[in-house]
Structure 1
C-alpha cells in the first residue's frame, strides 16, 4: 500500500467536532464489520442467484435474464452515489445506513413472498417453447422487490466503508480498514454464493430468501447496538453546491487578469471561526478556475468584508474542483475495466447452466455458485498482496507499490481473464459440435463446469489489486467534504459498467449472431475476444493517464 503523510489525517477529519474525538477508533471495528457481513450476506443471497431464479421460476429467456442481472447490479452500484451525497450533505452515514437496511429488508421480504406464494409466479413449464411469461401484476411485484433490494443494498454498501474509515485517525489504519472491508465483503459473498444458493436450488427458494431476511435483521441489530461508540461526522451541506459555484464564478470573471499575489484571493477557514485564514494562491494547474477565488471590488462590502455570492469562492473550493478534474480520466478507465467483468459475470452463469456441474456421483454445483471462485480468489489474494507481495516489492525496488501500480496490475489480470474465457468457450463449443448438441438448449455438454474456474481466479486476483487501490486512492486524494462521495465513486463506475455490460450484450445480439437464446448455437468466444481488445486499448489509455497524474495528498516515494 502507498505511504501517506500525516497532513492527510488532519484534512480528512477537520470537520469532526472536538467533542467527538473520544469516540471512534478500533472499538467500532467489530460492530461495523459484523454489520457489513450481515447486510452483504442478505443482499448477495438474492442477487447471486437472480439469473437462475428468473429463468426457472419466472420463465425468462437466458440472455434476457443476464441483461436484467446486469441492470440490477448497475442500480446497486449507482445508487450508493445518492446515498453518499445524502450522508455528506444532510443526515450523515449512520442514518443512511439504518434506513437503507430497512428498505433492503422490505425488498427481500417481497422476494420471499414471490417464492412462497404460487400466485406471484407464472405456471412452471417443462418445454421452453410452451412457457408462459409472468403477468403484469407478477412482474410488478418482482420489479418492486428488485428495486427495493437494490436501493437498500446500495445505501449501505459503500457508506459503511466511509463510516468505518471515519472512525480511524491514522491514514495507514484507514488503508488497513479498506482491506478488511473488502475481505469481509468477499467472505460474506462467498457464504451467500455457496450456502444460500445451495438452499435456494436444492431445498427451497423461500427458505433461501428467508435466510437473507434473518441476516439483514441481525446486521441491523448489531449496527444499532454499536451506536454509542461511533464517531459521527457532522454533515457540511452539499459539496456539489460549492463545486458548481466555482464553475459559475470562473465563467463570470473570465475576462479578468489573474494575480500572482496570494492576498488577492479569497481564503477562508470554514467552520473554525477562532482561526485566521492563511493567505494562499491557487495552484497553476487549470488556471482558468483560479478567477473564481479572485477578489474584486464588487465582492466586498463597504467596510471591506466579503460578500457571500455565487461569484466568489475560496481557494480551497477551487482546489477541490481541480482534484476532481485530475482524477476523472483515471476514473473513466475504471469504467472500461469493470465493463468486461460485468459481461463475464452474467454470461459465465449462462455457460454454467449448459455444462456438467457434478462433483462426484451425488453433488451438483449450483450454476450461480461458480462465481464464488472470484470471491475466493479475491479474498485469498488480498492478504498475499499486502503481507507478501508489497513487502517484497518494497524490499527489492526500494519503493512501495503505489495505488496506481496496483490498478495497472489489476488491468492486466482482467484482460488475461477475458482471454482465458475466450479459449474455454471455444473448447466448450467444440465439444458441443462434436456431440451434436447445438440444437438442444437443455442438454448438458459433457464438459466439467470447473473449466470456468481459471478465468474466475484471474478476475478475482485482478479485483484484489484494483478495487482496494481505487478506494484508497479516491479516499486519500479527495477533499474532506467529499469523503463519502469518494468511496461511492468506486460504486458509481461499477454501476455504469454494469449498464454498459447490458448495452454491449444487446449490441452483440442486434449486430451479430454470437448471442442467441441458445448459446450452443452462438459464438460467445468472439464476444470475449472483443472484450480482450477493449481491455487492451483501455489499459494503454490508463497508462497514459497514470503517467500524467500527480498525487495530491498521498505521496509515495515513487509517483508511478
Structure 2
C-alpha cells in the first residue's frame, strides 16, 4: 500500500512537472515533427547523385519540372529546326530528287529513334538515366555543330545551281557524305537522349506518395507540350532564319540552344532524384528462358502459390503472378539443386516470380507495341508529303511568304491545346461514362488517337483532290514550279487533326510503356514508344518506294513524282487510310487481350 501511494505521488509529481514545462515540451514535439518531415525519404528507392536515399522535401516533384521541361524544350527546338526543313534542304541545297529526299528523311528519322533503345539500355543497365542523358545530349550538340560547319566552310558548303543549267547537279560526294555523317551523329545523340530524359522526369514523382502519383500523369502531358512548344519555335523562328537569312544561322542558333541545355542539365544535379541501374535486363530474361527450358516437364498450379519469390525490399515494386504464359512459371518452381547447402540460389535454374513476370511483360506488350507502329506511318507524313504539298500552294500572308515547313505550327498549336485540355475537359467528361479515374484507360486513349489519325489522312486526301482539280483547271500539270492558286491555310484541318491524335496516341504511349514496365526496364520500355516512330518511318519509306515503282510506267510519272502537280498522292493517302483501318482492327484485338501489370508496393520506403 505504501508502495502504491509512493507510485501515485510520483505520477502526480510527473504530471505537475509536465504542466510546468508544457510549452517547452510542446515546442520539443513540434521541432521533432519538423525534423522528421525534413528527413522524409522517398518510398520508391530513389537516391541523390551520391547514392544516398532521396529526401522528399529537397528533391524531385514539381520543383524539377522547369529543369526537365526546359531541357526537353531546348532539345526539341533544335531538332525541329533541323528536321522540319530537312527535306527541303536536301532537295534545294544538295539537289537530291524528291522521292530520294523523302526516303532519306524517313530513314534518318527512323534510325535516330531506334537509337533510343541503345540509350535506354545503357541507362537502365549501367550508368543511370541522368548521366546517359548528359552524354548523348553532348553527342547531339556535336552532330548539330558539324552540320552547321557544312553550311559555313567553303570546302563543305553545297554549291548553288549554275545559272546556265536548267537542272541542278547533285552536291559532290564529299559534301553530301559529310552532311549525312553530321545528320546521323545528331540523330544518334537525340534518339538516345529522348527516352532517358523522359524517364528521368517521371522518376521525380514517387508512385507510393499519393500526391506525387497523381502529378505523374500530368507530367507526361506537360513534357509533350514542352516538346511541342520546341517544335513551335523550330517550325517558325528557326525555319524562317534558314529560309530567309541562311542555313548557317538556323543551324548555328540550334547549336547554341543545345549548349544551353547541357548547362541547364548540370544545374539539376542537387535536386534530381535518380533510380540506380538494375543491371542487364537481357540477362534476367535469358535466365527465365533457360530455367524454363530445364524444367519444361514440370507442372505448375494456376494460383502461383508454389512459386519462389524473394522478400520484398524497400523501394522496389514486386510484380504479382499473372495467368498468361503460365509455361514460364516453371522457372520459379523450386526443385532439388536450385539452392545449394549455403542457401545460395542458382539464378539460371531458379528465378523469382517478379523476374518471370518481367519476361511475361515483354511478350505481353509486344503486340501493343507492334499495332502502334502504323500510327507513326501516318504521323510522319507531316514531315514529308504534307510539307511537299505546302511548297506548291500559295504561301503568302499579306506581303509575307510563309516557309512551307512552318505550316506545321498548326499541328504544334493543336498539340498544346489538346494536351492541356485533356486533363481539364476530356478526363472529367469521359470519367462520367467509364468510371475510370483516368477517364479513358491508357489503351483506350491510344486507340482514340489511331482513329483521329485516320481522319487526318482522310482530310489530307480531300484537300489533295481539290488541289489537283485546281491544277487541272489552270493547266499547271506540266509546271512543277508554278504556285497553285489555293492558300496553304487549307492544310490547317489535317495538321489540327494530327495534333489531336498525338495527344491521345503518343502521350498515351509514353505513360503506358513507363507505367506498365517493371522497374528494371522502364527506360527500355519508354524507348519502345520512340521505336514505333522509327519503324513507322521505315514503313512509310518502304510504301513510298514501292508505290512509286509500281505506279510509274511509260509517260505516267506515278503517284509520287518529282513534279507534285502531275502526281496523285491522293491515291497514296487513300491507301494509307485503308491500311489504317485494318491496323485499327488489329490494335483493338490486341488491346482486348492485354492484361495490365499488377504490382505490390512496400508499406514504407523510409530509410
TM-score, normalising length from structure 1? Answer: 0.91
Instruction: Give the whole-Å Cα distance in 2 for the aligned partners of 1:136 and 1:383.
Output: 47
Pick one of 176, 191, 215 that aligns with 1:173: 215
Pick one of 176, 181, 194 that aligns with 1:157: 194
Q: Give CA-to-partner distance per residue, 1:95-153, whole Å, 9 cap, x none.
A: 11111111111111111111123431342226885322122211221111101110111
Structure 1 residues 359, 405: closer, same or farther in 2, change over 3 A? same
Instruction: Give the whole-Å Cα distance in 2 for the aligned partners of 1:67 and 1:521.
Output: 20
Structure 1 residues 448, 272: closer, same or farther in 2, change over 3 A? closer
Task: State yes or no: 1:229 paired with 2:266.
Answer: no
Determine helix, strand or coil for the equivalent of 1:213: helix
Determine helix, strand or coil for the equivalent of 2:485: strand
Task: State yes or no: 1:442 paired with 2:490.
Answer: no
Q: Pairwise CA RMSD of aligned residues?
A: 2.4
Structure 1 residues 320, 206: closer, same or farther in 2, change over 3 A? same
Pick one of 352, 356, 362 that aligns with 2:394: 356
Instruction: Give the whole-Å Cα distance in 2 for the aligned partners of 1:437 and 1:519.
Output: 10
Structure 1 residues 281, 200: closer, same or farther in 2, change over 3 A? closer
Instruction: Give the whole-Å Cα distance in 2 for the aligned partners of 1:127 and 1:444.
Output: 23
Task: State yes or no: 1:514 paired with 2:545.
Answer: no
Pick one of 66, 70, 74 that aligns with 1:38: 74
Determine helix, strand or coil for the equivalent of 1:298: coil
Query: CA contact under 8 A between 2:434 and 2:440: conserved in structure 1?
Result: no
Partner of 1:249: 291
Partner of 2:21: none
Pick one of 418, 432, 451 that aligns with 1:395: 432
Structure 1 residues 437, 132: closer, same or farther in 2, change over 3 A? same
Instruction: Give the whole-Å Cα distance in 2 for the aligned partners of 1:24 and 1:451.
Output: 44
Q: Give CA-to-partner distance per residue, 1:199-218, whole Å, 9 cap, x none.
A: 11001111111110111011
Query: CA contact under 8 A between 1:12 and 1:479: conserved in structure 2?
Result: no
Structure 1 residues 272, 226: closer, same or farther in 2, change over 3 A? closer
Instruction: Give the whole-Å Cα distance in 2 for the aligned partners of 1:171 and 1:128.
Output: 63
Instruction: Give the whole-Å Cα distance in 1 for the aligned partners of 2:524 and 2:471.
Output: 48
Instruction: Give the whole-Å Cα distance in 1 for the aligned partners of 2:184 and 2:203.
Output: 29
Query: CA contact under 8 A between 2:46 and 2:273: conserved in structure 1?
Result: no
Query: CA contact under 8 A between 2:98 and 2:561: conserved in structure 1?
Result: no
- Give 1:234 shift: 1.1
Aligned ranges 1:387-466 → 2 under 5 Å = 387-395=424-432, 397-399=434-436, 400-466=439-505
Pick one of 526, 546, 566 that aligns with 1:487: 526
Structure 1 residues 296, 220: closer, same or farther in 2, change over 3 A? same
Aligned ranges 1:44-193 → 2 under 5 Å = 44-125=80-161, 130-169=167-206, 170-193=212-235
Structure 2: runs of 5+ lacking an equivalent = 1-40, 207-211, 552-557, 601-607
Structure 1 residues 124, 290: closer, same or farther in 2, change over 3 A? same
Query: CA contact under 8 A between 1:343 and 1:505: conserved in structure 2?
Result: no
Larger radius of gyration between Structure 1 and Structure 2:
2
Determine helix, strand or coil for the equivalent of 1:229: coil
Query: CA contact under 8 A between 1:337 and 1:414: conserved in structure 2?
Result: yes
Instruction: Give the whole-Å Cα distance in 1 for the aligned partners of 2:500 and 2:61.
Output: 30
Partner of 1:381: 418
Structure 1 residues 340, 554: closer, same or farther in 2, change over 3 A? farther
Which stretch shifts more, 94-103 or 523-532? 94-103
Instruction: Give the whole-Å Cα distance in 1 for the aligned partners of 2:388 and 2:138.
Output: 32
Structure 1 residues 517, 11: closer, same or farther in 2, change over 3 A? farther
- Give 1:347 shift: 0.7
Task: State yes or no: 1:307 paired with 2:307.
Answer: no
Structure 1 residues 205, 259: closer, same or farther in 2, change over 3 A? same
- Give 1:427 shift: 1.1
Query: CA contact under 8 A between 2:151 and 2:158: conserved in structure 1?
Result: no
- Give 1:15 shift: 6.2
Q: Give CA-to-partner distance per residue, 1:72-105, whole Å, 9 cap, x none.
A: 2112222111111100000011111111111111
Task: State yes or no: 1:545 paired with 2:563.
Answer: no
Structure 1 residues 340, 261: closer, same or farther in 2, change over 3 A? closer
* Bigger relative CO (Cα 8 Å, ≥ 6 apart): 1
Partner of 1:345: 383
Structure 1: runs of 5+ lacking an equivalent = 1-9, 556-560
Partner of 1:4: none
Determine helix, strand or coil for the equivalent of 1:119: coil
Query: CA contact under 8 A between 1:57 and 1:121: conserved in structure 2?
Result: no
Aligned ranges 1:235-314 → 2 under 5 Å = 235-259=277-301, 264-269=306-311, 282-302=321-341, 305-314=343-352
Instruction: Give the whole-Å Cα distance in 2 for the aligned partners of 1:528 and 1:128.
Output: 35
Pick one of 64, 86, 89 that aligns with 1:28: 64
Query: CA contact under 8 A between 1:59 and 1:122: conserved in structure 2?
Result: no
Instruction: Give the whole-Å Cα distance in 2 for the aligned partners of 1:450 and 1:118.
Output: 38
Q: Give CA-to-partner distance per residue, 1:275-317, whole Å, 9 cap, x none.
A: 9x99x994332111111111221323135x2432423211111
